Amino acid sequence: MNKKEIFRTLKPFNWMAASILTLFGILNTRMEIGMGRVSINIYIGVPTYFLLAISGMLLALWLQSMDEETTNELKNPLLILIFCGIFYSSAFVLALLHSIIYDIGVFNIISMILIGIIWNLSIFFGKKMENRSTLVIIISSFSFSFGFFYGATLNGWNIPFYIILFFIAGFSLQFSKEVIRSFKVRKNEKADQINPLIKIYGPIKTQRNAFYAQIVTIICITLPIFLNIYNSTLYLIPMLIVIFCDGIAAFLTFSLKLDEKYNPAIMILLRISVFIAFLMFLLGSV
């Protein structure tokens, strides 16, 4: 794992993107609370999840560092784990102060505790797992998308079902993007350096997993239009664009053999879907 690969695993862009999803989670559940509390939740909740997202990406990097061939290049995997703990602890303390000082309830603390349990289980079982690549993708996708749910918890216990659908859509879209990326063989890689995910599951099953995730994305962004979201009119047009792009990506994923010839069009379509999905979430909340 070279420096570029470490940078890809850490995904600094995703830290900011996860924070923006937290903002959307707050905005989409603001109807029953005052604007003063909404402002406080934005000022404190968004930076809190930013720290939490960093801890998740560091955990993903640590899991990758467990492979023998990457350990020497990362020098000190334990240091990665320590920083993961520092960022998680910082996020937890900030969430606790947010809850106590502004009396917003304990749902955000419960979310933090659950994530802490998930992180610790990932560390404990990750040491023994042969298939860490799947766990790396799950952790990074979860860190990216859970901001939507966390933002909603800041406004109270009454979380609309469409928030859960948004969370699942964000997770499945990011998951499919990471799985498709595993087929990309870079020019400086040798032929036998196949992604561990493909080695374990095989190219066909790996490709099918990406396809299923893309279908889940389409379903989860379509259903909210029938569930009384904040602004269904503005949500509709970008929703149709995401369905179009993700649908073509799903068709290509299903029909092509990516292990024989990688098709960059799928990744481009998925990236467009992510970008338009952010616009869709924003317009649906105004």
Residues 209-221 have pLDDT tens digits of 999 999 999 999 9
> How far apart, in whole angstroms, are the C-alpha atoms of residue 170 and residue 81?
26
Token code pair at residue 36: 């003063």
Task: Quote the pLDDT of residue 187.
Answer: 40
pLDDT score, position 186: 45
Rounded Cα gap, residues 262 and 257, in angstroms: 8
- Each of the 286 residues of the chain gets a pLDDT tens digit; together they read 555 555 555 677 888 899 999 999 999 888 878 888 899 999 999 999 999 999 999 999 898 887 655 444 555 788 889 999 999 999 999 999 999 999 998 999 999 999 999 999 999 888 777 778 888 899 999 999 999 999 999 988 888 999 999 999 999 999 999 899 888 754 445 444 556 677 777 888 889 999 999 999 999 999 999 988 888 999 999 999 999 999 999 999 999 888 777 788 999 999 999 999 999 999 998 8
pLDDT digits (tens, 9 = 90+) for 146-182: 999 999 999 888 889 999 999 999 999 999 998 998 8
Residue 209, token pair as written in the block: 């997993």
Over residues 231-253, the pLDDT tens digits come to: 899 999 999 999 999 999 999 99
| Cβ 11 vs Cβ 136: under 8 Å | no
Q: pLDDT value at position 248?
A: 96
CA distances from 222 to 227, 229, 235 (A): 10, 11, 10
Write out the two tokens for 156. 């109270």
Predicted pLDDT at 271: 93
Instruction: Name the nearest CA neighbour of 253 among 183, 156, 160, 158.
Output: 183
User: CA-CA distances (angstroms) from residue 121 to 52, 63, 131?
Assistant: 16, 12, 15
Which of 9, 244, 29 lies closest to 144 in space, CA to CA? 9
Its pTM stands at 0.88
Residue 225 gets which letter from DSSP? G
